[in-house]
């Protein structure tokens, strides 16, 4: 990843244009051609530096819901539990953490009923209890990773 990549990522985490030629517009901000912007993003994606490029949805506003769930998984059952959790398309994030509650995942779906179904299935598939930790109140969320760039 070079300086140009970092500058690009810094600029397109939010406010990506919704216009006919959005990459050309971004190029205009950064003194890059449309093709250069696209090439950089393709490469960053292939190399694993870009998780996703597209919309970040708000399931709640779309009639659905989202929740955080956690499990205490004994070491010897970890591989199976991870596969079980990851196997559900409604699981959008899954992290291993250092704590007795070691598996933490986000379930998002178009309805609460689907979410409850997924949590129940995971319990059944793994034989382990899942604690459901839905948000009761949200206090300002802003995810924006600004990377250090070398200024000439």
Partner 1 sequence: MAVEIERRLILAIQGGLPLVPQPYLAVARELGITEEEVIILIDGMLADGRIKRIGAVPNHYALGIIANGMSVWNVPDHQVAEVGRRMGQLPVVTHCYRRPRRPPHWPYNLFAMVHGYSREDVLVTVDGIARELELEGLPREVIFSTQLLKKTGVRFQEGWASLGRAGLAASSGD
CB of 69 to partner 1, least distance (A): 10
CA-nearest of 60, 63, 50, 65 to 16 is 50
Is 100 or 152 the residue whose CB approaches partner 1 more closely? 100
Residues in 79-98 at the binding interface with partner 1, rule: CB under 8 A:
82, 85-86, 89-98
Question: Which residue's entry shows tokens 């959790």?
Answer: 85
Indicate whether 53 belongs to the interface with partner 1 (CB under 8 A): yes
Residues in 116-145 at the binding interface with partner 1, rule: CB under 8 A:
131, 133-145
Are the beta carbons of 132 and 119 closer than 8 angstroms? Answer: yes
Is 127 or 131 the residue whose CB approaches partner 1 more closely? 131
Buried b (16+ CB within 10 A) or exposed e, 68-78: ebbbebeeeee
Judged by CB under 8 A, the residue of 30, 38, 80, 128 near partner 1 is 38
Q: Tell me the C-alpha distance between 71 and 30, whole Å.
A: 44
Indicate whether 74 belongs to the interface with partner 1 (CB under 8 A): no
Residue 26's SS3 state is helix
CB of 115 to partner 1, least distance (A): 9
């Amino acid at each position: 990843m070079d300086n140009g990549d970092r500058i690009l990522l810094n600029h397109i985490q939010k406010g990506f244009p919704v216009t006919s030629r959005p990459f050309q517009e971004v190029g205009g901000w950064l003194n890059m051609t449309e093709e250069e912007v696209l090439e950089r993003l393709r490469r960053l994606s292939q190399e694993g530096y870009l998780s996703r490029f597209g919309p970040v949805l708000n399931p709640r506003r779309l009639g659905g819901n989202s929740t955080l769930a956690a499990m205490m998984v004994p070491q010897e059952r970890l591989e199976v539990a991870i596969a079980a959790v990851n196997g559900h398309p409604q699981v959008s994030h899954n992290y291993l953490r250092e704590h007795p509650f070691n598996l933490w995942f986000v379930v998002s779906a178009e309805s609460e009923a689907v979410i409850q179904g997924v949590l129940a299935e995971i319990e059944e598939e793994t034989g382990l209890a899942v604690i459901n930790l839905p948000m009761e109140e949200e206090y300002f969320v802003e995810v924006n990773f600004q990377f250090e760039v070398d200024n000439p």
